[in-house]
Chain A
Amino acid sequence: MPFLDLSFRHKIPLWGGLLIIITAFAVSASLVSEAYDELQEDLLLDAETLGQSLTANLFPAMLHDDTWRTFEIIRASIDYVKADNTNAVKLKTILVVDNALRVVASAHPKMAPILTDIRQLSPEYADLADWLAKTTGAETREIILPNSKHIYFATPVSQEGLHLGTLIMVYPEDVFWPRFAHILWHGLLAGAFVLAILLPLNWYWGQRLAIPLVQLTERMGEMGKKWPERLNYKAYGHNDELGRLFEAYNQMLQERKTKEALEMQIVQSERLAAVGQLAAGIAHEINNPLSGMLTAIDTLKCHSEVNPQTLKTITLIERGLGQIKETVGALLVEAKLKSRDLVPQDIEDVLTLITPMASKKALHVSWHNSLNEGIPLPATFVRQIMINLLLNAVQAADRQGEVAFEIGVTDKQLQLSVTNSGKMLSAEQITHLFEPFSPLSEGGARPGFVGHLSNRASIRRTHRR
């Protein structure tokens, strides 16, 4: 059913509201029904009281054949009822008939002229006459004729056994309606007042109960697609079943996050181990020709006479090959890392190496080297870091952009800074920053930079061992 599929946000207040309305209507209907019964009893009581009161005055008037006095007595009752602005039951008319059922006086003489046999007034009065002829008694009797729109009350006009006639009071069938409508109206107002208080309260509590459930449902639905947010305790703030459900959810969320982080670390470790094994294999393959090249250069330096310019170039190649050897050696887990200390000339070598690339992109290179002497740090690693960072910076910088490099020693620490103009890394890129062979390199964005940072991470880990 569509209604049953509604959100609790709507269903709880609607159900509550429906129950309140049904309850209000049931209580109102019960009260109104009781009021209707009381009205019926009141009518009989009123008719009896009025009948007894009127007949006490009518008896002497009828006994003396005082038509005007008889008329005045019954007319006064009608005029009083007519002038009464309250919701008292309204008499329609009153007749006084003699023992022959002829009208002695009527509150509305034009409708029931005096001396007229009431059987001649209307078929309904003929039925009434038959009923009166059959029944006797000294009490007021309620007469409800079939298919009649009136309720009749007949009271004998008699004292001490002398029966002069009958007082007939005629009420409209809907006699209760004005008073009943009054009661109904007040009941409706009271009901509306109660509903006006209860419905908003119900809506408020329904929402207060439903919204946490809805939030919980939404969070659970998000589970698996992304990490949902924690539930705010303030949204509910009670220690009942719902509050405990909140707590359990938050605890479960925390545990799942921890578990996933652990799993990711394991996966990354396994991946790094695989990469290490691969790198070690490659390093072995590179080491052999590299050793040959270094031997050849050494031979060339020892047994050939070369001009200074060539010698400088050979020296530069030798240092480069040495760096490659050390790097490859670092990839071998079991290799011992040996390197010379860093000297200021290493920094200038790096500048010489990146200048051609920077010139191609018309970059402005800001270079500040404050090293005056060698420092006890492996020159190979530092050069590798500098080259990688600077190459990445050159690649990432916009054309005619700017690359700035600064290096120096502060508080016995080597500090270097490479900045370049260009786009910032995205959050996703930062997430995969330290992963070798990450998808970033495939996009060609900053493979060198990524490689550098990977190396840096590896170096740092190596030193920690």
Chain B
Amino acid sequence: MKPSDIKMPPPRGLSNSDRLQPGKPFWFWLWLGWFVFLLPAEVGAQQDVPPIRMGITPAIIHDQYELLTKWRLYLEEKLGRPVEFVSRDSYRETIDLLKRNKLDFAWVSSFPYVYLEHNRRVRLLVTPVYQGRPYYRAYLIVPASDLDTRSFLQLKGKVFAYADFYSFTGYVIPRYQLQQAGEDSAHFFRKTFFTSGHRKVIEAVGHGLADGGMVDGFVWDALSNIRKDITDQTRIVSKTQEFGFPPIVAQVSVDKDKYAAMQRVLLEMENDLEGAKLLKQLQLDRFGPPAPERYREVHKMMQAVGDL
């Protein structure tokens, strides 16, 4: 809210009859002018606190606008300052914003975190805990009507949907697996395309636009809870090993107090009623403390496919 938007109540004790009228003593007008001059500055001082800008990516179901609004208001209340969510459909845009210091925090996939952390652009803030563990898996999915596909390699010559150029589960893992199998990812599929999101990969596979796709297991599970009709159009062929859950990171320039405040609020969400309710809607157990070692495997695989 801009200072000019603030509606000032009339000064206490000043009735309509006390307003500018001939016959008032000079000291009265002097006092009133001074009061009016100082009051906007006082209010503006509170409003001039820059908002915390937090990036939201398709690492979660980022089009749950009502839930995200509730979460933002919750964070504003706990932090005592404005919070802005900056939602982008592609990781590339969020990475750029973090690089250009336009975001304080961001909930990103493992790939952007490792990539940005490798370039000393971010620090790990918290890791979400899902189904009791701070890990997630990638799911290989095919259309529900495809009952033949049993392995990833059976999709050779088919149409494959990638989530994002900077997605770990949606882009790195498929290429890594093909590399491990001795296949060339550039020619293994008949055609590939990007959808800019795990949910859209699920939809592309469900509609039959793609013959297969690799998606964030957390997104698939979460979507199956709120839009089962979409996930029912797909079939999970296989699940990968566990990887560190897409974390919330802090831009390196975020000062310690802001970092600590945000980390504290997130870690304590599970302890209050409203926070626990939001976590349940986000389909998470809680936020856990940072542990960079959980992402070593991600780092290794990105290096293997040449993304790092």
Which residues does A use to contact B, with CB under 8 Å?
A: 65-68, 71, 75, 105-106, 108-110, 113-115
Max chain B Cβ within 10 angstroms of own Cβ: one of A65, A68, A106, A110: A68
Contact digits for B182-213, partner A, Cβ 8 Å, 1 yes 0 no: 00000000110111100010001001110000
In the complex, what residue of chain B is closest to A107 when comparing beta carbons?
B207
| Measured CA separation A106–B196 after assembly (Å) | 19
**Are B208 and A67 in contact, with the CB atoms below 8 A?**
no
- Chain B residues near A67 (CB, 8 Å)? 191, 193, 209
Contacts of A113 in B (CB 8 A): 159, 208
Within the complex, what minimum Cβ distance (angstroms) separates B194 from chain A? Answer: 7
State the Cβ distance, A60 to closest chain B Cβ, in Å: 15
Count A-B pairs with CB separation below 8 Å.
37
Q: How far is the CB of B234 from chain A (nearest CB, A)?
A: 13
Q: How far is the CB of B240 from chain A (nearest CB, A)?
A: 23
Count residues of chain B with CB under 8 A from any CB of chain A: 15
Give A106 to B207 CA distance when docked, in angstroms: 10
Q: Is the CB of A71 within 8 A of B209?
A: yes
CB of A363, distance to nearest CB on chain B (Å): 114
| Minimum CB–CB distance for B191 against chain A, Å | 6
Say whether, besides A114-B159, A115-B159, A68 and B191 are in contact (CB < 8 Å).
no
Ordered by A's residue number, 22 sampled pairs between the chains whose C-beta atoms are within 8 Å are A65-B193, A66-B194, A67-B193, A68-B161, A68-B194, A68-B195, A68-B196, A68-B204, A71-B204, A71-B207, A71-B209, A105-B209, A106-B209, A110-B143, A110-B207, A110-B208, A113-B159, A113-B208, A114-B159, A114-B191, A114-B209, A115-B191
Given contacts A65-B193, A71-B209, A114-B191, 5 further A-B contacts (CB under 8 A): A66-B194, A67-B209, A105-B209, A106-B209, A108-B207
Q: Closest residue to B192 on the A side, CB-wise?
A: A67
A66 to B194 alpha-carbon distance, docked (Å): 7
| Distance from B203 Cβ to chain A, minimum over Cβ atoms (Å) | 9
Chain B residue numbers with a CB within 8 Å of A115 are 159, 190-191
Residues from chain A with a CB closer than 8 A to the CB of B193 are 65-68
Assess whether B145 is interfacial by the CB under 8 Å rule: yes
Q: How far is the CA of A75 from the CA of B190 in the complex (A)?
A: 23
Min CB distance B89 to A, Å, is: 11
| Chain B residues whose C-beta falls within 8 Å of the C-beta of A71 in the assembled complex | 204, 207, 209
Closest to A67 in B: B193
Chain B residues with CB under 8 A of A75? 207
For B145, the chain A residues whose CB sits under 8 A away are: 110
> Which residues of A have CB within 8 Å of B159?
113-115
Chain A min CB distance to B123 (Å): 33
CB neighbours of B200 from chain A (8 A)? 68
Tell me the residues in window 25-58 of chain B with beta carbons closer than 8 Å to chain A beta carbons: none
Chain B min CB distance to A120 (Å): 15
Q: Which residues of A are found within 8 Å of B161, using beta-carbon distances? A: 68
Measured CA separation A110–B145 after assembly (Å): 10
Q: Which residues of B contact A106 (CB under 8 A)?
A: 209
Closest to A110 in B: B208
